[in-house]
Structure 1
Amino acid sequence: MIKVGDKMPAGTFTQITKDGPQKISAEDFFKGRKVVLFSVPGAFTPTCDAKHLPGFVEKAGDIKAKGVDVIACIAVNDAFVMKAWGKAQNTDGKVEMLADGNADYTKALGLDMDATGFGMGVRGQRFSLVVDNGVVKQVNVEQKGEFKVSSADHVLTQL
């Protein structure tokens, strides 16, 4: 599992742009900026949709005022679902929505989980990371079924 002091692993994310789906390398995404990256088990799922993403949307200004350049949400969903969820949650200009459709990046972080018992396949655990120029400064991984340490409010205390 990724830990404080580690460099973020190589890999790619997908985002929908005006030109369609675009791959973004993790190296380019994290280079030269401070990023809060948080992961949800799934777009439109109960806690993710009612609390996790909305908290970061609501607190985006406060987080960015602490020197964060980018807030990003990653999930093991396709880029079209992530775009639709972002639109539904008014994330524009506040939270970037990153798709990790096959869980490749989430697995590289060592933060994947087996959600086949819920019919969801492999997913990402609920977590948040503070990353500065590609180096991990904070790691917050939730215990199963909890929503505390990966929240926007908790991340704010770490900045």
Structure 2
Amino acid sequence: MQAGQKLPDVTFRTRIRDESIGGSNPFRWEDKTTADYFAGKRVVLFSLPGAFTPTCSTYQLPGFEDNFATFQEHGIDEIYCMSVNDSFVMNQWAKAQGIQNVKVIPDGSGEFTRRVGMLVRKDNLGFGLRSWRYAAIINDGVVEAWFEEPGICDNHGEDPYGESSPENLLTYLTEAAKGAAA
């Protein structure tokens, strides 16, 4: 993906809390589309190889969560974390991380990830198909800026992290604001 490209239309299978269901697992299925998440908003989307994994849980997700207010100051309405994991896993990961501001998007089948060109094999780690690590600023469903970790390939021996970090996106937003003010 690159700046100016429109996100693909995909339907995501999510589980949302619904107290009317009762019991110990009061969740129901709810389909959400690309438009539901991205239409009419300026958002950060970041994607990672897997929920509960070290870099994702230690740096990337907490970094976006901790900087949510700063992103809002730069005109960001929402921050979304996507992974090729199902809704059950994504919801439990967000709960375990104590996430209040970042919203998780389950790309369980990898359809969105495939269509943006970021689906890679991670068989070397026992993961199967997963997302390459990236982040983007999306404005009304169109890519404003794209931040992809270098070296995209199947079964990469390392887990590069830096381009898609919250700090890097905040640097971009700060510089873009300076440019707009000039």
The equivalences for 1:67-146 within 5 A come to: 67-92=75-100, 94-144=101-151, 145-146=159-160
- Residue 13 of structure 2 aligns to which amino acid in structure 1? T
- Residue 10 of structure 1 aligns to which amino acid in structure 2? D
Structure 2 Cα separation of the partners of residues 35 and 15 of structure 1? 19
| Structure 1 unaligned blocks of 5 or more | none
Q: What residue number does 2:14 align with?
A: 15
Structure 1 Cα separation of the partners of residues 128 and 17 of structure 2? 30
Spell out, residue by residue over 1:81-125, the C-alpha distance to the aligned partner (whole angstroms, 9 max, x if none): 100110111222x10010001101100111111111211010001
Higher-Rg structure is 2
Percent of pairs with identical residues? 37
Structure 1 Cα separation of the partners of residues 163 and 11 of structure 2? 25
Q: TM-score, normalised by structure 2?
A: 0.83
Moved more, 104-113 or 10-19: 10-19
Greater RCO structure (CA 8 Å; 6+ sep): 1
Structure 2 Cα separation of the partners of residues 40 and 14 of structure 1? 18
Spell out, residue by residue over 1:29-83, the C-alpha distance to the aligned partner (whole angstroms, 9 max, x if none): 1110001000010000111111111100111111111110110000001101100
Structure 2 Cα separation of the partners of residues 21 and 51 of structure 1? 30
Aligned residue-pair number: 157
Q: TM-score, normalised by structure 1?
A: 0.95
Q: What residue number does 2:35 align with?
A: 27
- Residue 14 of structure 2 aligns to which amino acid in structure 1? Q
Q: SS of 1:82's equivalent?
A: helix
